[in-house]
Amino acid sequence: MTAASAPGKIILFGEHAVVSGVSALGGAIDLRARVRLEDTPGKTSIEARDLTLQGFRLDLITGQIVSADAMRATRYVSSVLKEYGARDITVKVDSDLPLAAGLGSSAAIVVATLAALNEHMDLGLSRIDVASQAYKIEKAVQQGLGSPMDTALATYGGYLQVSRDISPLDLPQLDMAVGSTKQPHDTRCEVERVQGLLAQHPDIVGPIFQAIGAISSKAVALLRDMRLEELGELMNVNHGLLEAVGVGTKELSELVYAARAGEALGAKITGAGGGGCMIALPSSEGSTRLIAALKQAGGRAFLVKTGCEGVRVVRDR
């Protein structure tokens, strides 16, 4: 048996702009996807549980599945298995991360599966290989544009600054409230829409992206020095710029304004927008009130820690 787990992520600053090579700042969170591989001669299958979906099973030989939603998770696992010709194993997946919510669940599943398979089949992949192969596989499944942010955070953990390059950053952990609209979103569709807007109005959207990049860069020093009020202000500015490129929704706005009224230091969309999640930075005393305000506004709300550990592998020989 080989097991691996990998974290989800939040993007603190810079989503969408990062797709055009502008600097973004993300942190791995303390919610994880877990994968177990077992040798099952003659049978290759994927079982997934607790993905905030109903349980399901997919047999790769018969192609039998129960639940259409399940396809989303199993597509990522089966793509990893196919890439490396893995057979005669059962993959069991479970995850704390809601799917299609902008918290990096698909990247965490791909990275955990790949890292477990690497150990199980002695593929000889380094951590850098895991990050780059996982990015390739996730992108192929999503058939779209996208940055390596999610797969890099699932692999390395901690905080990363991503632009054309990926740089790990040594920054303190933060408590962050996450508010989910409970509406699934399609990252590819949102990225295509924003990139289309950039192509149509480069003179307008280009400077918006540059401003987002400046926020991400400035935020690094603020986070390092724990200047949280200023960090919160920059979250509010970044949110306004994301609204400007059209990825806000009524439900996301309601959660953002509820968080600000609930005394958050700042609040913004996290991830692609168009549904999914927002984040809010609690004041030192105010996380209980903040979570209550988000729930009252109709969201699912929980606290996460940022800057958490990357992929972890355990082999039971």
By CB under 6 A, the residues from 64 to 123 that bind ligand MEV are: 102
* Shortest CB 308 distance to ligand MEV, Å: 17
Binding mask 235-274 for ligand MEV (x = CB under 6 A): ------------------------------------xx--
* Shortest CB 182 distance to ligand MEV, Å: 17
CA separation for the pair 130, 136 (Å, rounded):
10
* Active-site residue identified among 150, 170, 175, 316: 150
- The alpha carbon dihedral of 275, 248, 103, 122 has a sign of positive
Does 19 bind ligand MEV (CB under 6 A)? Our answer is yes
Does 147 bind ligand MEV (CB under 6 A)? Our answer is yes
* Shortest CB 71 distance to ligand MEV, Å: 20
Q: Is residue 203 annotated as part of the catalytic site, yes or no? A: no
By CB under 6 A, the residues from 169 to 188 that bind ligand MEV are: 187
Q: How many CB atoms lie within 10 A of CB 98?
A: 21
Question: 65 pairs with which residues across the strands?
Answer: 58
List the one residue from 146, 158, 213, 310 that touches ligand MEV (CB under 6 A): 146
Q: Which is nearer to ligand MEV, 32 or 120 (CB)?
A: 32
Does 51 bind ligand MEV (CB under 6 A)? Our answer is no
* Shortest CB 17 distance to ligand MEV, Å: 8
The 10 Å CB-count burial string (b at 16+, else e) for 14-27 is bbbbbbbebbbbbb
Q: Which is nearer to ligand MEV, 13 or 56 (CB)?
A: 13
Q: Which is nearer to ligand MEV, 223 or 272 (CB)?
A: 272
Amino acid at 2: T
Q: Of 9-17, 76-84, 89-97, 280-288, which part binds ligand MEV (CB under 6 A)?
A: 9-17
Residue found under tokens 């991503």: 162
How many CA atoms lie within 13 Å of 137's alpha carbon, on the beta-carbon side?
28
Q: Of 11-19, 49-57, 85-93, 222-230, which part binds ligand MEV (CB under 6 A)?
A: 11-19
Q: Which is nearer to ligand MEV, 26 or 262 (CB)?
A: 26
Choose among 185, 178, 119, 129: nearest CA to 152: 129
* Shortest CB 124 distance to ligand MEV, Å: 28
Q: How far apart are the first and last CA of the chain?
A: 7
Name the residues annotated as catalytic: 150
Residues of the shown chain interacting with ligand MEV in the complex, contacts defined by CB under 6 A: 11, 15-16, 18-19, 102, 146-147, 149-150, 187, 191, 271-272
